[in-house]
Structure 1
């Protein structure tokens, strides 16, 4: 059964004043390639990092759908800040997903998030197109139910800020029964090195640095799953996949919202020498802005619908992989299109680094690199319709 849009609420944690303050810092962080330290402190102080923690556990109790809406607002102010904070919300979203379905294995995470711990996402690996289904990182048993991890994680957003890092690796000590191990390490536990290698085209303030795991330890009570490699429907994996894809889609849709707003402002502000009229009266500009709006208008109903179904505990099973992977791709590709049209409507000044639209143009490009990418989303949909590819 689908969620009823009429039941949707619009609770917010982020004030317009705070968003304006964060927007004022974004260009500086982008120019200096610096971390959003002040933003993180302000967001923590306002309780935003516990937005999705249930109220009875010390949080604001926002739904996934509401948090996606808030993330879009934050992304409109500072995309890199929103992207990095997203990874914390993903883990809280996973814990919330399990908690609401009667699985308390991550309730400790909800409690720690309520107390101010900041969670990072250390899963991505260079060349690992299996994503959640395999790992290049070694998970070595410690003999007491815990693991030490050895490997290299890339795109670890919020590298300077996390206090808890979710990681996964492969335990192949029994070649006949290898397992993907999902666990959490702590910042004060050591056994890792964060490289100073984040010098990128966009999303610079996220400081998504490479993390080298060299014996980082997760004790037995922080080992969450030991799963057979390959596809499966464990709620832990389903919670990660859906939370990651939908929150990510919200960030990039928020970038598109902001770009469209800036394009409308520019069209009203700029005047044509040829006609003497504002560009808002130019039929070509009007067509481009309308085209961008039409594309963007199709994304929000999808986000509300799918996130609303997860909030309503609708069970789609494996269907959520297809639904959320496809939505992430549509959202990020639509955001790129909207920003591109906004640039075309706003003139050559957007080519300068001082332009907010120019920065959004660079930031929005990062959407193509997050899983699920275009290829894996197509493979997911093809498998759902045609079955697996013949191994022979």
Structure 2
């Protein structure tokens, strides 16, 4: 890929993914129950080798994968992304035993993963986590000399139906982010319970309660007190790909709007003949293209190991998610009442597009990260 265009092979692959999403995955998604994990859909993602690509590819391939699936089936995109988000810490920081136990099952779509970071009092401010990991020298699961987890997690995708959770808890090695550790917690651990939450978006999301849940040294992901780095490493990869998800939705809304306004008759012609409509569509297309290119640039920076990945990732997520909201909203406006009917593509996208501006760091948090990185560079000079 150059700075401005994908290669022919990449374009062909994206086209194949869009067709696959519509023909093979959307029928499975439509059979699923809103707010519940769709295990047949996950199994299909595994059988098609798409979950394998999440773990075997770089950031750019992940973005192309998420964008293309989102265009044709947002449920398939989200199911795939949540597997990656929940299991990426295991891939990067897990022990050999943890990777061997869980990653083949995740790649096959047989085990459901979840990323358990947010809490009722710690959403955007991830360093303010309160879930306590209290030392338990004589107990703990998996090896003794462990901890007991007490507290809550909230707004956790795939909860409470996941088979395991990547859990971030305060072990107290230092203040703030320095005292957080990451654990792999199987769903059947005693003291762990959860409840589904009824949210605007149709994907599964819930809360978790930890009542003395035992964890031991063999459950750690990485080193004690280094869990915040595990979380940020995961988010730096997935934030640009959240932007890719948003771009996929924006492109679907834009294409639907182009087709509709070119055909819909009004005021003696088609809607596309009206300058106000044509200019609105031109703005939608320009913003979508700008967001798409920024996402690709951020992914390329991650794959190169560039030092400015946090800033680029934040910029990509910020612009792409805000752009998608703009594009889908104006697409609904140009379609009129038909777009508000249950089952219409734009009605679906209108519900889906709102959450990405909040999760994995709200837009305001992305602006804070960008500003901090910019001023940090000034101070370094």
Find the counterpart in structure 2 of residue 67 from structure 1.
62
Shift of 1:81: 4.2
Does the 8 Å contact 2:153/2:207 carry over to 1? yes
- Aligned residue runs from structure 1 range 240-251, under 5 A: 240-251=234-245
- Identify the range of structure 1 (157-166 vs 350-359) with the bigger mean alpha-carbon deviation: 157-166
**Residues 361 and 105 (structure 1), Cα distance of their counterparts in 2 relative to 1, 3 Å cut:** same
Report the Cα offset of residue 362 of structure 1: 1.6
TM-score (norm 1): 0.80
Instruction: Indicate conservation of the 8 Å contact 1:267/1:345, yes or no.
Output: yes
- Structure with larger RCO (C-alpha < 8 A, sep 6+): 1
Judge conservation of contact 2:151–2:210 (CA < 8 Å) in 1.
Answer: yes
Contact 1:85 1:158 in 2 (8 A): no
Paired residues for 1:49-198 under 5 Å: 49-53=51-55, 61-94=56-89, 108=100, 110-111=103-104, 113-114=106-107, 116-129=110-123, 131-143=125-137, 144-159=144-159, 161-172=161-172, 179-196=179-196, 198=197
TM-score between the two structures when normalised by the length of structure 2: 0.82
Partner of 1:56: none
Task: Establish whether residue 22 from structure 1 lines up as the match of residue 25 from structure 2.
Answer: yes
Contact 2:160 2:195 in 1 (8 A): no
Report the alpha carbon displacement of residue 364 of structure 1 after superposing the two structures with TM.
Answer: 0.6
Q: Matched residue of 2:149: which SS?
A: strand
Shift of 1:219: 3.1
The whole-number CA distance in structure 1 between the counterparts of 2:6 and 2:321 is: 27
The equivalent position to 1:285 in structure 2, one of 273, 277, 282, is: 277
Task: List structure 1 runs of 4+ shifted beyond 6 angstroms.
Answer: 2-8, 103-106, 173-178
Q: Aligned-pair distance for 1:333?
A: 0.3
* Structure 2 equivalent of residue 200 of structure 1: 199
Specify whether residues 160 and 266 from structure 1 end up closer, same or farther in structure 2 by C-alpha distance, changes over 3 A only.
farther
Segments of 5+ residues of structure 2 without an aligned counterpart are: 138-143
Residue 369 of structure 2 corresponds to which residue in structure 1?
380
Displacement, 1:304? 1.4
Does structure 1 retain, via aligned residues, the 8 Å contact 2:21–2:72?
no
1:341 lines up with 2:344 in the alignment? no
Q: Secondary structure at 2:319's aligned position in 1?
A: helix
Gaps of 5+ in 1: 54-60
Q: Which residues in structure 2 correspond to 1:298-337 (within 5 Å)?
A: 298-312=290-304, 314-316=305-307, 319-337=308-326
Q: Deviations over 1:36-89 (max 9, x none)?
A: 333222212223222233xxxxxxx33221122111222223324423431221
Q: Is the 8 A contact 1:105 1:224 kept in 2?
A: no
8 Å CA contact 2:114–2:156 kept in 1: the answer is: yes
Give the drift of 1:293: 0.5
State the secondary structure of the residue aligned to 1:189: coil
Equivalent in 37, 45, 50 of residue 48 of structure 1: 50
> Is the 8 Å Cα contact of residues 26 and 77 (structure 1) preserved in structure 2?
no
Q: In structure 1, the residue corresponding to 2:54 is in which secondary structure?
A: coil
Give the CA deviation at 1:118: 3.0
Task: Kindly provide the CA deviation profile for residues 137-175 of structure 1, in whole angstroms up to 9, marking residues without a partner as x.
Answer: 111233235333222112211236532210011123899
In terms of fraction of residues, the more helix-rich structure is 2
Name the CA shift for 1:257/1:5 in 2 (closer, same or farther; >3 Å).
Answer: closer
CA contact (8 A) 1:171 1:178 kept: no
